[in-house]
Amino acid sequence: MEVLGKKIEDILPGLVSNPPENKENETTDDVQPQEAAQQMEGANTEAQAPAQNPYGEILEDEFVQKFLDVYSAGDDAMEDLLQAELERVRIAKTNYNEMADADVIRASLQKEWPELKGAAFERAVKKYFDANFGEEIEVYDDDEESQSEKQVRDAQIRRKANELRKYLEAEQSKVKRKSAVETKAEKEARLAEAKKKAEDDLVAWEKMVTGDAFVSKALAEGEVKVGKADSELAYRVKDVEQFKKALLDDNSFFKVFATGDEKSPIDLKRWAKVVAYALDPEGFESLIYASGKNAATGKLLDELENPAKPDAIKPSAPSTLSQALLGAISKR
């Protein structure tokens, strides 16, 4: 992430661990082979394990990310962000169970009418209470009617406040910031769930591929049959293991087209042939069969039109149709 065109590490020094010192010039003349191997193994382990950053979890916090994003936008944007954060903190720290019933209703109305401030808000609250619970009752010591009316009004307010407490507490749970431990645990749980799903998908994919009758037979026999049943050809797979890996793993499949050339890393000619075959396998196989048939027919006609001399024909048993025909013609 960059702020004002600079990296976070430059603006907030120390947030990212310092890179390891260059130890290329250190000599290992006095180190025994076994010790050197152990040092190499340890170096590889350190290189693979990222350095622990004590500020890493803080930088993943949503508010910190927003703070860094608006840092370059000016004071107005920063003020809006800080006010919103203070309001979030106020809501998160509020204990609605300790609040009076009337105050709970006021808090709900304040959330519902954010545009009303000061006297306007107080007037709106009074109208709400009068319309829903009746006007506030003045109670006299000897007046049982006023006391009972106040009890009824208070009960109505209490019932409404209890309903709003559940709503406000549900909203409060959404704005409470989770601890670093909770955030880390949730992240690890999501990663574990994603890993489990990927593993299950891989097992299901392998089961589906290897369970197919055509594929399982090809893997078992090391041959792929092409063409129609009456003119079927068998292609011998050069490397069955590589063939299986390419069937199951997309990375292994794409490696088939890698050339190792930086300028032309992909064999696009091969790629185009594979795509063309995948779009119309029957057409490709018919073309191959027709080409082979035409080649054989052409050879036969050529031999019929230009027969060899009788003494050039060997008396051994004919091995092809063309040889049989030539033998029959030579005997005439």
Q: Are 224 and 260 found together in one domain? A: yes
C-beta neighbour count of 226 within 10 angstroms: 17
Residue at which a domain ends, from 266, 299, 314 = 266
Question: What's the pLDDT score for residue 266?
Answer: 92
Question: What's the pLDDT score for residue 41?
Answer: 54
Please check whether residue 82 lies inside any domain of the structure: yes
- Helices then strands (H, E): number in the chain? 15, 4
Please check whether residue 280 lies inside any domain of the structure: no
Higher local confidence (pLDDT), 180 or 110: 110
Question: Residue 49 — pLDDT band, cuts 50, 70, 90?
Answer: low
Q: Which amino acid is at 145?
A: E
Q: What is the mean pLDDT of residues 239-261?
A: 92
Give the number of domains in the chain.
4
Please check whether residue 71 lies inside any domain of the structure: yes
pLDDT tens digits, 114-155: 999 999 999 999 999 999 999 888 887 778 888 888 899 999
Q: Are 244 and 209 found together in one domain? A: yes
Question: What's the pLDDT score for residue 53?
Answer: 59
Q: Are 82 and 169 found together in one domain? A: no
Owner of token pair 């009788």: 310
Residue 243's alpha-carbon distances to 187, 206, 214, 237, 246, in angstroms, are: 37, 13, 14, 7, 5
Please check whether residue 30 lies inside any domain of the structure: no
- Report the range out of 25-34, 47-56, 150-159, 296-305 with the highest average pLDDT: 150-159
Q: Are 83 and 114 found together in one domain? A: no
Q: Are 86 and 159 found together in one domain? A: no
C-beta neighbour count of 277 within 10 angstroms: 13
Sign of CA dihedral 120, 121, 127, 131: positive
Q: Which amino acid is at 160?
A: K
Residue 245 has pLDDT above 90, yes or no: yes
Please check whether residue 171 lies inside any domain of the structure: yes
Please check whether residue 70 lies inside any domain of the structure: yes
Domain range enclosing 206 = 196-266
Q: Are 115 and 163 found together in one domain? A: yes
Q: Are 121 and 167 found together in one domain? A: yes
pTM for the full predicted model: 0.44
Percent of the chain surpassing pLDDT 70 = 69
Q: What is the mean pLDDT of residues 243-271?
A: 92
Residue at which a domain ends, from 93, 123, 142 = 93
Q: What is the mean pLDDT of residues 313-327?
A: 46
How many angstroms separate the first and last alpha carbons of the chain? 92
Q: Are 121 and 170 found together in one domain? A: yes
Q: Are 60 and 122 found together in one domain? A: no
Please check whether residue 38 lies inside any domain of the structure: no
Q: Are 148 and 207 found together in one domain? A: no
Question: What's the pLDDT score for residue 3?
Answer: 41
Please state, in angstroms and rounded to a whole number, the distance separating the CA atoms of residues 259 and 262.
8
Please check whether residue 224 lies inside any domain of the structure: yes
The DSSP letter of residue 229 is G
Q: What is the mean pLDDT of residues 288-304?
A: 61
